[in-house]
Amino acid sequence: MSTFETIIYEKKDGIAYITLNRPQALNAVNIKMRDELYEVLTALDDDPEVKVGIIKGAGERGFSAGADITEFGTTPSQNIARQIRWERDLWGQFLGVSKPLIAAIHGFALGAGVEMSMCCDIRIASEDARFGLPEVGIGMVPTAGGSQTMPRLVLPGMCAAAILTGEIINAAEALRIGLIHRVVPRDNLLPASESLARVIMSRSQTAVRYTKQAINRGLDLSLAEGLEMENRLFSIVLQTDDAKDGIKAYRQGSKPKFAKF
């Protein structure tokens, strides 16, 4: 386990666990946490032992209450603040991780908290989870990409009300509009996330990475361009040992060598 001030980083059986660890502040994202998350995401992506990452929040009250507003206006100048954000593009770092990321969400996921989860590939929530982008209520706009990531995730036309009103929605509504993928009892949140991680790890990791790349890159392409990109990636993956082994195993009715979980 690595030592950080605001997060806990652990690895076990191919899964990396990132725990937001400021429970006294409802895991609000301060500058220190931004820096440590940026560092640990780089380490996670570069670590050959890690296949999937699970991000969760410490404490009973929630995943994250969002940005730490006590730090607003405390930087020496707006120019310096912008330079720090540019050099440490945390949300871009989340989106750039080549390995699947699962957000295990309980309690409150507000502002930058829900925005962080939307930068993950899969979102599993406990029944007590509450989601919201409350920035308009304090005279601001979403600051961590929420106005861009939410429209790419939820049912068409469903995000404007959530963003413009800043109202908090429960887990059932979040599931209905497509913000999250699954709702489970609170005590099953981590086991359900780990079970899904193991399913992903039982697949070809080469195929998983290329498939994630196809999904994320395709969002910025036309359908025709996306299909062409998918075909290129398919041609690349088809030449790999995993694909050859998987096809052979399928024909023989056996288990591929890469399916170790």
Which CATH number fits the domain that encloses residue 211? 1.10.12
Mark whether 243 and 116 lie in a shared domain.
no
Nearest to 15 by CA among 164, 191, 206: 191
Q: What is the pLDDT along the chain (261 residues), one digit of tens a residue?
A: 568 999 999 999 999 999 999 999 999 999 999 999 999 999 999 999 999 999 999 999 999 998 887 765 555 544 445 445 545 688 889 989 999 999 999 999 998 899 999 999 999 999 999 998 766 666 665 666 676 677 777 877 777 777 777 789 999 999 999 999 999 999 999 999 999 999 999 999 999 999 999 988 888 889 999 999 999 999 999 999 999 999 998 898 888 888 876
52/174 Cα distance (integer angstroms) = 24
Q: Per the residue annotation, which of 36, 115, 194, 230 is the catalytic one? A: 115
Alpha-carbon distance of 214 to 147, in angstroms, equals 22
- Specify whether 163 is located in the same domain as 65: yes
Total of domains in the chain: 2
64, 109: one domain? yes
- Residue of 5, 10, 39, 135 with catalytic role: 135
Percent composition of the chain: helix, strand, coil (DSSP 3-state, to 5): 50, 20, 35
Same domain, 102 and 227: no
Q: Is the pTM of this model over 0.75?
A: yes
Domain limits for position 129: 2-201
- Strand 15-20 versus strand 52-57 pairing type: parallel
Whether residue 14 contacts residue 49, with contact meaning beta carbons closer than 8 Å, is answered with: yes
In a domain, 257, yes or no: no
Please confirm, yes or no, whether 115 is among the known catalytic residues: yes
Whether 194 sits among the annotated catalytic residues: the reply is: no
Angle at 179 between CA 175 and CA 182, to 5 degrees: 45
Q: Looking at the domain assignment, is residue 59 inside a domain?
A: yes
> Is 245 found in the same domain as 215?
yes
Q: Note the Cα 75 to chain centre separation in Å.
A: 27
Is residue 165 domain-shared with residue 233, that is, in the same domain? Answer: no
Domain CATH code at residue 111: 3.90.226.10
- Rounded to an integer, what distance in angstroms lies between the CA atom of residue 249 and that of residue 109? 43
